[in-house]
């Protein structure tokens, strides 16, 4: 990963991950407010870059991890829509690990505009193998997530 890749992927801290994103016209509805389903895209980018900075390449896990394959899939998501974002807003997507072990992970996420909490989400991630069956998260991988364990401020 290059320095530029790191720059695009946000930053890690002991508390988790932070990613900045701008709201574009394509993210909004006719009123100029972010369309509710677009928040899922922002949250996914936050989770993906969190994994990337932890050294987890999702594309290679299905092929390499213990030959059984390893895939992360969203099992459940709870979202509180608190305030709307608008075109040209600069958003911060925060992601922190609540739990990592067994066949699941729980991540807490927020989307903020400055100090204002816009979205709070709790995401339960199932860990499965290449055949779609549950599998345990390898201990070394769980340890990487747990090193960033914490709760983002507005999480459930």
Catalytic residues: 29
Residue position matching structure tokens 């896990």: 61
Name the DSSP class of 91: E
CB contact burial 114-151 (16+ within 10 A = b; e otherwise): eeebbbbbbbbbbbbbeeeeebbbeeebbebbeebeee
What distance in Å separates the CA atoms of residue 58 and residue 76, rounded to the nearest whole number? Answer: 19
Q: Where are the beta strands (DSSP E) in the chain?
A: 11-13, 16-22, 71-81, 90-101, 104-113, 116-128
Looking at the DSSP assignment, which residues form a beta bridge with residue 53? none
119, 155 contact by CB (below 8 A):
no
* Tokens read off for 21: 């994103």
């Amino acid at each position: 990963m290059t320095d530029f890749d790191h720059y695009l992927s946000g930053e890690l801290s002991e508390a988790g991950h932070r990613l900045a994103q701008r709201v574009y016209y394509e993210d909004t509805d006719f009123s100029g407010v972010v369309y509710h389903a677009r928040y899922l895209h922002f949250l996914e980018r936050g989770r993906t870059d969190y994994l990337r900075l932890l050294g987890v390449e999702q594309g290679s896990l299905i092929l390499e991890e213990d030959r059984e394959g390893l895939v992360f899939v969203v099992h459940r998501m709870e979202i509180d829509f608190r305030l709307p974002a608008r075109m040209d807003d600069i958003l911060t997507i925060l992601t922190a690990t609540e739990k990592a072990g067994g066949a699941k992970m729980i991540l807490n996420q927020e989307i903020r505009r400055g100090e204002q909490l816009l979205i709070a989400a709790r995401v339960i991630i199932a860990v499965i193998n290449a055949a779609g069956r549950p599998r345990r998260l390898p201990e070394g991988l769980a340890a990487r997530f747990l090193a960033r364990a914490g709760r983002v401020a507005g999480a459930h």
